Amino acid sequence: MNRPLRRLSFIVALMFLGIMASTTYAQFFNAQALNNDPRNVRALYREYGNNRGPIVASNGQILAESVPVDSPFGFLRTFSGGNVQQAQMYAPVTGYFSIVNGMTGIERAENDYLNGSAAALWVNRLQDMFTGTDRRGASVEVTVVPAVQEAAWNALGGQRGAVVALNPQTGAILAMVSKPSYDPNDLAVHSTGVASERFQELVRADHDPLLNRNISTLYPPGSTFKLVTAAAALETGAVLDGQMIPAPVTYTLPGTSHAMQNFGGASCSPTNEMTLHEAMVISCNTAFAMLGVELGAERLANQAQRFGFNSSFEIPMRSAISGFPSVEGLTPDRQALSGIGQGDVTSTPLQMAMVAAAIANHGVMMQPYLVQTVRDPSLDTIYTASPDTLGQAINSTTAEALTSMMLDTVNRGTGTGARIPGVQVAGKTGTAQTAAGVAPHAWFVAFAPVDNPTVAVAVVVENGGNLASEATGGRVAAPIARAVIQAALGR
């Protein structure tokens, strides 16, 4: 073979090797990226043309399902049968499923089960292949109890905020309401132009209706955090149950000229001291601010972290990380503010519900979860949730002391708005300051019945809700928690 032919043969061989390498890369190494590329029309038709499994509530009520339609996609995702209010009510749980905007909520977290691609469904896929049946998804049953969800939705009314309730003994989430909300049916349409336009309208809307405030929004927890401060005092022995602590009318934050007052400028005690128990019942700011300084940054931070701060919960959607500030650089004045849940402390409503739940459960924190059961297309169970312990946040003695404080808070303190005849309710109010000139957030956390708690709840109403600057946690948030507890107990 002469030299020109050898060179040509070499070039042709290189070209074949290049084609083989690029084809191998595209079909093997880059296959998933290409499948997930939003410009891949075939992938879109495959994903959105599936007979996607339903999402159902604990009583079997259908929250989301795929219905056959006469379109290239074959199926349309429908939420709550198209009922707008119902779809909005459950949107923080289901999330949305959109051809151009992706997925959120359970739709995203359990997508492999819902679209039938999960490893646990391989037998079903094999059967469908031999029978020529289109792939079908599994059904996902969530722990939400419709009666509790509806009670939370109605009690929050037209106010902005969030309500989350769970079983403190198991971690099962009973309700998860966030307002303002949205109708996921608006985003499930097959027209890419319409779906995109509606999504942008929601993005531009006031107060972000797409946000699940229970797990994604960080608020100052205000006086509900006093439960953590008190727990740190009792756990470390800094304060003994029944011991007197300082409770002045005003308290000047260390190293500053700022004088902290109690709510309404009131005096907590004529003697300027009181027990930790009584300080909790009336939510004395100066007592807990001074206690925050006495405890110091490290002890406060350790206790907050044992309750779950500075980490996230996976329910299976992952929550934002509720934050307690770094010990380094937390000066005494910031320690005082941290002791009352202000300053640099932030929390999701789910996090504060977990604090109440741990106290209710003798100090044991359970993993919160939203998915109870997954069933294949033949309705055979392929997954069932089982309660899982996260850890011991406090010992049982501390839990008992805090329960007593919270019980008296509802019976004769700042939380009387949560009282239910015939039921012992333990709770804690919070009125969290935000920016200057902006109405505070109203908080309430609680659990019931005290002797055998089966429901723990956290409520936050943004900027005081209907009462604006006149709001307190006891006046605005406590009645909402009461309605949720009554529904959970069937009263």
d(CA 277, CA 320): 32
pLDDT category at 241 given cuts 50, 70, 90 is confident
Q: What is the pLDDT of residues 460-481, one digit of tens each?
A: 999 999 999 889 999 999 999 9
Q: What is the pLDDT of residues 266-321, one digit of tens each?
A: 899 999 999 999 999 999 999 999 999 999 999 999 999 999 999 999 999 999 99
Burial 114-153 (b: 16+ CB within 10 A, else e): bbbbbeebeebeeebeeeeeebbbbbbbbbbbbbbbbbbb
What integer is the mean pLDDT of 136-165?
97
Q: What is the pLDDT of residues 88-109, one digit of tens each?
A: 999 999 999 998 889 999 999 9
Q: Is the pLDDT of residue 445 over 90?
A: yes
Higher pLDDT, 46 or 105: 105
Residue 223 designated active-site: yes
Kindly report the CA angle at 410 between 405 and 416, in degrees rounded to 5? 150
Q: Is the pLDDT of residue 34 over 90?
A: no
Q: Which helix (H) or strand (E) holds 155?
A: helix 146-156
- Integer CA distances (angstroms), 456 to 124, 140, 154, 364, in order: 39, 24, 18, 13
pLDDT for the residue numbered 124: 66
Q: Is the pLDDT of residue 26 over 70?
A: no
Q: Which CATH class is domain 222-371+389-488?
A: alpha beta
Percent of the chain with pLDDT over 70: 90
pTM for the model: 0.89
Instruction: Please answer whether residues 338 and 325 qualify as being in contact, where contact means their C-beta atoms are separated by less than 8 angstroms.
Output: yes
Percent of the chain with pLDDT over 90: 77
Q: Is the pLDDT of residue 414 over 80?
A: yes
Q: Is the pLDDT of residue 38 over 50?
A: no
pLDDT category at 11 given cuts 50, 70, 90 is confident
pLDDT category at 50 given cuts 50, 70, 90 is confident
Q: Is the pLDDT of residue 235 over 70?
A: yes
pLDDT for the residue numbered 256: 94
Instruction: Please answer whether residues 82 and 168 qualify as being in contact, where contact means their C-beta atoms are separated by less than 8 angstroms.
Output: no
The torsion defined by the Cα of 46, 49, 51 and 52, in degrees rounded to 10, comes to: 80
One-letter identity of residue 9: S
Backbone angles phi, psi at 329, to 5 degrees: 85, 0
Number of C-beta neighbours around residue 356 at 10 A = 28
Instruction: Please answer whether residues 206 and 181 qualify as being in contact, where contact means their C-beta atoms are separated by less than 8 angstroms.
Output: no
Largest CA distance in the chain: 111
Considering only 131-140, 323-332, 353-362, which range has the smallest mean pLDDT?
131-140
- What is the average pLDDT score of the chain? 91
pLDDT for the residue numbered 31: 54
Higher pLDDT, 1 or 184: 184
Instruction: Please answer whether residues 176 and 149 qualify as being in contact, where contact means their C-beta atoms are separated by less than 8 angstroms.
Output: yes
Number of C-beta neighbours around residue 52 at 10 A = 25
Q: What is the pLDDT of residues 58-93, one digit of tens each?
A: 999 999 999 999 877 889 999 999 999 999 999 999
Catalytic residue among 223, 283, 319, 322: 223
d(CA 237, CA 396): 14
What integer is the mean pLDDT of 212-226?
97
Higher pLDDT, 78 or 131: 78
d(CA 457, CA 408): 17
pLDDT for the residue numbered 215: 98
Q: Which helix (H) or strand (E) holds 427?
A: strand 426-432
**87's tokens:** 């779809």
Instruction: Please answer whether residues 470 and 478 qualify as being in contact, where contact means their C-beta atoms are separated by less than 8 angstroms.
Output: no
Instruction: Please answer whether residues 216 and 319 qualify as being in contact, where contact means their C-beta atoms are separated by less than 8 angstroms.
Output: yes
Burial 266-299 (b: 16+ CB within 10 A, else e): eebbeeebbbbbbbbbbbbbbbbbbbbbbbbbeb
**199's tokens:** 């999504």
Considering only 3-12, 128-137, 203-212, 226-235, which range has the smallest mean pLDDT?
128-137
